[in-house]
Structure 1
């Protein structure tokens, strides 16, 4: 089934998701059917639209999204397509941070860093400091931060539980996270802000890879 928004706001939100998804695909950050984007409905913040599971991101349209509950991640309407496999992670971010948009992609440099520093059974904390681009993350102290890298459990709900617990404990942390061997997730007050933060973190990861410096990592 495809999504048929009943309001102009729903249609506009779905189109924003489709447009940005194709843009990120063209940058090589959402190859094949990988990655997922979501955004709260402006007229109903308890619900969000998220890209449907298994859709080719280079051909995504405004009808290839699913309406979900932002508290639970469960489908809010019957007869829809299956939501993204990582919907519960989006819901965890929405519940804890109050974000209005979430982006998860497999951008190459962030994924390389997630592969290098991620652990199989514990959250790794990657220290980022001195980079000018940290100012783009909206941090209280942009001089330094710790970017969490979560284990990529086969059970996505377990990842979501880890994310919710960590974000609750580290409320002043950056608006982003890595998944070991997997990719990066960012969020913000708008889809554009989430995208800008994604670009900042991906660029910082690129600089880390190109500098060939040893990442400073601790365990949470």
Structure 2
């Protein structure tokens, strides 16, 4: 894609996005072409940059991102590469939460937890409490959280609709969610904050797995 129409701020943002992608790849959280990252443009938050579909996250550069409408997920520039297949989920988070960055990864412990606790056709809820890392999520009450776990429907738009409905009804929930057999999505006011929250959520899932205790789950 050509950078000519992009502002200097957008080019810098694309480079930051690509750098985080490579970091998460090196951790084993975005193997191959899996995972996706988006961020609202600093000079126009109605638009966002997101990783293009099918790109190797370990080799991602600023040229491997595309521009979309932040609220709809539709491509906003002709002739671009195809946006990530999960762009509609990012757009759902942006519409409801006002976040400025969203990261989805296939980090191993979150994926294992999502595999264990997910319901087949309804949103499940995983209660996490007492761990000090909860304080890293910006929760109103950092003593505990109910982490939603969504079915991984083959139709991504259906997942996005579930996410939007849950976030709209859920009030002050955690800045993240799990997808059955699929991984974790986290968001924040910046790429840095979204990455930090992703790390906290993955570490909390790791602690739950290592504790070998029964996972406290409720299902709708």
Q: TM-score, normalised by structure 1?
A: 0.98
2:81 alignment counterpart = 81
Looking at structure 2, the residues matched to 173 and 13 of structure 1 have their Cα atoms a distance apart, in angstroms, of: 28
Report the Cα offset of residue 3 of structure 1. Answer: 5.1
Q: Secondary structure at the match of 2:62?
A: coil
- Uncovered stretches (5+) of structure 1, i.e. residues with no partner: none
Q: Tell whether the 8 Å contact from 1:176 to 1:185 is kept in structure 2 after alignment.
A: yes
1:39 alignment counterpart = 39
- Uncovered stretches (5+) of structure 2, i.e. residues with no partner: none
Report the Cα offset of residue 97 of structure 1. Answer: 0.2
Deviations 1:60-103 (A, max 9, x none): 00000010001100000010000000000000000000000000
Aligned structure 1 segments of 4 or more residues deviating by more than 3 angstroms:
none
Looking at structure 2, the residues matched to 129 and 200 of structure 1 have their Cα atoms a distance apart, in angstroms, of: 13
Looking at structure 1, the residues matched to 186 and 169 of structure 2 have their Cα atoms a distance apart, in angstroms, of: 18
Deviations 1:107-153 (A, max 9, x none): 00000000000112000000000010000000000001100000000
2:53 alignment counterpart = 53
1:115 alignment counterpart = 115
Looking at structure 2, the residues matched to 6 and 113 of structure 1 have their Cα atoms a distance apart, in angstroms, of: 40
Looking at structure 2, the residues matched to 3 and 171 of structure 1 have their Cα atoms a distance apart, in angstroms, of: 41
Looking at structure 1, the residues matched to 71 and 110 of structure 2 have their Cα atoms a distance apart, in angstroms, of: 27
Looking at structure 2, the residues matched to 117 and 6 of structure 1 have their Cα atoms a distance apart, in angstroms, of: 43
Q: Secondary structure at the match of 2:96?
A: helix
Looking at structure 1, the residues matched to 111 and 36 of structure 2 have their Cα atoms a distance apart, in angstroms, of: 15
1:164 alignment counterpart = 164
Report the Cα offset of residue 105 of structure 1. Answer: 0.2
Report the Cα offset of residue 6 of structure 1. Answer: 1.9
1:101 alignment counterpart = 101
Q: Secondary structure at the match of 2:141?
A: coil
CA RMSD of superposed structures (Å): 0.7
Q: What are the equivalent positions in structure 2 for 1:175-214 lying under 5 Å apart?
A: 175-214=175-214
Report the Cα offset of residue 39 of structure 1. Answer: 0.2
